[in-house]
Amino acid sequence: MWRALFLAFGAYTCLLGVEALAIERAVLKQPAQGQRRLIDADEIVPPEWAPWSLMASGAVVVLYSFTIPRRVGG
């Protein structure tokens, strides 16, 4: 179970880094009537270091997940 959890977390982090590399900014739409806003910003601009850091840390976590031993029989 831990192996799959770390693999999923690492893959998600890598994909988030690739997405941050591909976009310049993310513009958020207005919430529907009656819903409250979770953050105050209208747009999110990822810093320059974010894509590479996310992809690198995600790759390290994925490689770590392959070193976790499989549980036999249980």
What pLDDT, in 10s, does the model give residues 40-66? 778 889 999 999 999 999 999 999 999
Rounded to 10°, the helix 2-22/50-67 angle is 160
Number of structural domains in the chain: 1
Per-residue pLDDT band for 27 (boundaries 50, 70, 90) equals confident
In a domain, 34, yes or no: no
Q: What is this structure's pTM?
A: 0.76
CA-CA-CA-CA torsion sign (26, 27, 33, 35): positive
The mean per-residue pLDDT over the stretch 7-36 comes to 90
* Residue 72 pLDDT greater than 70, yes or no: no
Rounded mean pLDDT of the chain? 88
Q: Provide the domain limits for residue 49.
A: 2-29+40-67
